[in-house]
């Protein structure tokens, strides 16, 4: 089938039935979570995403699933409690992607921040952060333990003095006075986790439908105009409730729909991924989460064999793309040097950069670092119009609870009763995922009879128990490992392209695999992947070459 007929057929399900009870606009993690929750209630729901799924703010996070210890000083007790609960639930529901993260804070002072932070805690004032001293961190971590120990399964925090801290982490800056160590969680592959939530939504109920590369571009007589971003085709869509979950783009989307809102005041944050083995080892398998000289909380941690370093917090205009600037890179280099002064890092070691905008509520001129990370739901349309709800805010960590909350508001509008909570549902390949090495070996033995146990185990770790679908496909077609990306095979890539709504090479290297994040792409790799995609999607040679040249080593938010 040619590329143009493939593009025409992909929206058949939308064109043939251009109505649903609910239209969710925006396929970041929060739109996806809301979609899944509604689908599980048997609601007829459609999700449209302008670009690829999970390519906006949800692709730009620090990968942390965390309570947010620093939100305590802004007095955000509700948010911290909910986040810790959700963190613990995700460790159970998605153990294939969400793992405990040992976190160490190097502390360079004893008492500073002592006055400013409690003042903020109780008055919600917006002062510039001052350096947080050991005393304050101790108070915060004690509260954190109280909310987050998960029935004792998460260890309590511990404090070490200088001598023991240096013995544990000899490369640390010798000015350190204490280290505080506690546990949070991180996801090594947020894009795949988001896809798992999406596929759960697709599989639930009879009427859930999701489409990437489709935008909500206007509203006309109560109908939402949907535009196919691949072909330009327009479809007028009728829904009883419309939900705007376009994150930092929320005001721009409302504007397109005819509503002038000013809900959002997002800040840009960037990250770099470094390939530096000395730094990797110095981190000692833990996140180093600390207060930089300017009072900002920053981080670095080992992930997928590399070191992730971030982040910044800069007011941003959503009409221009967010990119990681040279100044931000310099800032990251200085923060690494602050904690590990003797480790040399070089710009050549940057294998990936990314930038995105936090979907924060507009908050006047208070310091970006203290703007609330909590969320709210607003009715944007008047009572006499088709209900349009806007989500303002929402972190990655709380997506399940947020999806349930937003879905409950929609169910009220529809007059539909909730039939199930997502609280105790595993996510995608997290279902029956064996968390011990022994269990993983046993799973691989059971499923590896045709493709081999080692390969089955590799796929289990990559896709959780959803690897079964990949294995069945490979077993039917046989596979050849790629020459330039030898941990992937032609059949595996074919499976992803056929089953996971892949339309661009970038979708594949940024969001179906983590080849870009880990710095594992070069022209030869891209050409080999493009060749497989060309066969499945009917690309001609000029489309294939422009896809290869279109991939960059940086992702950022698009308009």
Ligand X SMILES: Cc1cc2nc3c(=O)[nH]c(=O)nc-3n(C[C@H](O)[C@H](O)[C@H](O)COP(=O)(O)OP(=O)(O)OC[C@H]3O[C@@H](n4cnc5c(N)ncnc54)[C@H](O)[C@@H]3O)c2cc1C
Residues that bind ligand X (CB under 6 A): 25-31, 48-51, 55-58, 60-64, 66, 215-216, 245-249, 253, 256, 269, 311, 356-359, 394-397
- Cα–chain-centroid distance for residue 109? 33
Closest CB 257 distance from ligand X, rounded Å: 8
Contact between 55 and 503 under an 8 Å Cβ cutoff? The reply is no
Q: Which is nearer to ligand X, 210 or 311 (CB)?
A: 311
The answer to whether 508 touches 502, Cβ cutoff 8 Å, is yes
Contact between residue 277 and residue 307 where contact means Cβ atoms under 8 Å apart: no
Gyration radius from the chain CA atoms = 23
Residue 426 Cβ vs ligand X, minimum distance, rounded to whole Å: 20
**What is the Cα–Cα distance from 527 to 537, expressed in whole angstroms?**
15
**Of 385, 402, 106, residue with least CA distance to 222:** 385
CB of 327 to ligand X, least distance (A): 16
Cβ nearer to ligand X, comparing 182 with 488: 182
Burial class of 3 by CB neighbour count within 10 A (0 to 12, 13 to 18, 19+): middle
Task: Provide the 10 A C-beta neighbour count for residue 538.
Answer: 15
Omega before residue 311 within 30° of 0, cis:
yes
Nearer to ligand X, 64 or 491 (CB): 64
CA-CA distances (angstroms) from residue 287 to 104, 157, 186? 6, 14, 9
To ligand X, the closest distance from the beta carbon of 541 in angstroms equals: 29
Structure tokens at 159: 């404090």
State which residue, 399 or 433, has the beta carbon closest to ligand X.
399
User: Which position has the token pair 């240096």?
Assistant: 166
In this structure, what token pair is assigned to residue 2? 């040619």
| CA pair distance 549, 542, nearest whole angstrom | 11
- Strand 376-379, strand 223-228: pairing: unpaired
Least Cβ distance, residue 246 to ligand X (angstroms): 4
Q: For 128, which DSSP code?
A: P
User: Nearest distance from residue 25's CB to ligand X, in Å?
Assistant: 5
**Structural contact between residues 342 and 171, judged by C-beta atoms closer than 8 angstroms:** yes
CA distance 195 to 33: 10
- The least CB distance from residue 36 to ligand X, in Å, is 12
Residue with the closest Cβ to ligand X? 28
Q: How far is the CB of 369 from ligand X (least distance, A)?
A: 12
CB of 535 to ligand X, least distance (A): 28
425: number of Cβ within 10 Å = 17
Q: Smallest gap, in angstroms, from Cβ of residue 556 to ligand X?
A: 10
Give yes or no for a contact between 453 and 445, defined as CB atoms under 8 angstroms apart. yes
Residue 190 or 430: the one with the smaller Cβ distance to ligand X is 190
Neighbours of 151 (CB within 10 A): 6
Q: Between 541-550 and 523-537, two packed helices, what is the crossing angle to 10 degrees?
A: 140
Smallest gap from residue 296 Cβ to ligand X (A): 12
205: three-class secondary structure by DSSP = coil
Residue 444 φ/ψ region, left for φ over 0, alpha for ψ in the -120 to 50 degree band, beta for the rest: alpha
DSSP conformation class of 404: H
Between residues 27 and 95, which has the closer beta carbon with respect to ligand X? 27
Q: Which is nearer to ligand X, 443 or 503 (CB)?
A: 503
Taking the CB of residue 293, how many other CB atoms lie within 10 A of it? 11
> Residue 450: left (phi > 0), alpha (psi -120 to 50), or beta?
alpha
- Between 351 and 451, name the residue whose CB sits nearer to ligand X: 351
**Given the complex with ligand X, which of 57 and 525 has the nearer CB atom?**
57
Q: Which is nearer to ligand X, 60 or 502 (CB)?
A: 60
Q: Please say which residue, 82 or 490, places its beta carbon nearer to ligand X.
A: 82
Shortest distance (Å) from residue 27 CB to ligand X: 6
By beta-carbon proximity to ligand X, the closer residue of 219 and 509 is: 219
């Amino acid at each position: 089938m040619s590329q143009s007929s493939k593009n025409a057929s992909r929206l058949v399900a939308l064109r043939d039935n251009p109505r649903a009870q609910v239209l969710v606009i925006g396929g970041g993690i929060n739109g996806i979570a809301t979609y899944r929750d509604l689908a599980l209630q048997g609601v007829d729901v459609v999700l449209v995403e302008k670009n690829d799924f999970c390519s906006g703010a949800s692709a730009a996070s620090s990968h942390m699933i965390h309570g947010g210890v620093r939100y305590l000083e802004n007095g955000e007790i509700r948010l911290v409690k909910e986040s810790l609960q959700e963190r613990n639930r995700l460790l159970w529901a998605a153990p294939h992607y969400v793992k405990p993260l040992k976190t160490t804070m190097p502390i360079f002072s004893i008492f500073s921040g002592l006055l400013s932070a409690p003042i903020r805690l109780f008055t919600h004032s917006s002062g510039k952060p001052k350096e947080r001293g050991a005393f304050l961190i101790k108070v915060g971590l004690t509260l954190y333990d109280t909310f987050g120990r998960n029935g004792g399964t998460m260890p309590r925090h511990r404090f070490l003095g200088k001598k023991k801290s240096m013995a544990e982490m000899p490369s640390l800056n010798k000015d350190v006075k204490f280290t505080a160590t506690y546990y949070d969680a991180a996801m090594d592959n947020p894009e795949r986790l988001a896809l798992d939530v999406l596929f759960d939504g697709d599989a639930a109920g009879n009427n859930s439908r999701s489409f990437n590369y489709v935008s909500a571009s206007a509203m006309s007589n109560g109908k939402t105009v949907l535009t196919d971003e691949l072909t330009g085709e327009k479809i007028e869509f009728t829904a009883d409730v419309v939900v705007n979950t376009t994150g930092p783009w929320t005001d721009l989307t409302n504007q397109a729909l005819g509503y002038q809102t000013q809900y959002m005041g997002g800040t840009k944050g960037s990250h770099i991924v470094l390939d530096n083995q000395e730094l990797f080892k110095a981190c000692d398998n833990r996140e180093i989460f600390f207060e930089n000289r300017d009072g900002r909380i920053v981080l670095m941690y080992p992930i997928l064999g590399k070191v992730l370093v971030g982040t910044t917090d800069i007011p941003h205009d959503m009409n221009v793309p967010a990119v990681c600037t040279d100044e931000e890179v310099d800032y990251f280099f200085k923060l690494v040097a602050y904690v590990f002064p003797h480790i040399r890092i070089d710009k050549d070691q940057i294998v990936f950069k990314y930038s995105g905008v936090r979907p924060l509520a507009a908050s006047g001129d208070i310091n970006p670092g203290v703007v609330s990370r909590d969320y709210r739901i607003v009715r944007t349309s008047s009572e006499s119009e088709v209900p349009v709800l806007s989500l303002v805010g929402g972190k990655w960590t709380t997506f399940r609870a947020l999806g349930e909350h937003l879905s409950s508001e929609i169910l009220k509008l529809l007059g539909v009763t909730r039939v199930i909570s997502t609280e105790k549902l595993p996510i995608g390949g997290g279902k029956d995922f064996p968390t011990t090495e022994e269990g993983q070996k046993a799973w691989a033995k059971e499923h590896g009879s045709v493709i081999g146990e080692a390969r089955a185990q590799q796929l289990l770790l990559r896709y959780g128990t959803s690897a079964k679908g990949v294995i069945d496909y490979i077993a039917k077609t046989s596979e050849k490992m790629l020459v330039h990306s030898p941990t992937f095979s032609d059949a595996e890539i074919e499976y992803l392209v056929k089953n996971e709504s892949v339309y661009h090479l970038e979708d594949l290297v940024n969001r179906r695999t983590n080849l870009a994040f880990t710095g594992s792409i070069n022209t030869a790799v891209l050409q080999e992947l493009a060749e497989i995609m060309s066969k499945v999607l009917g690309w001609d040679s000029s489309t294939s070459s422009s896809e290869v040249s279109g991939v960059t080593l940086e992702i950022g938010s698009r308009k």
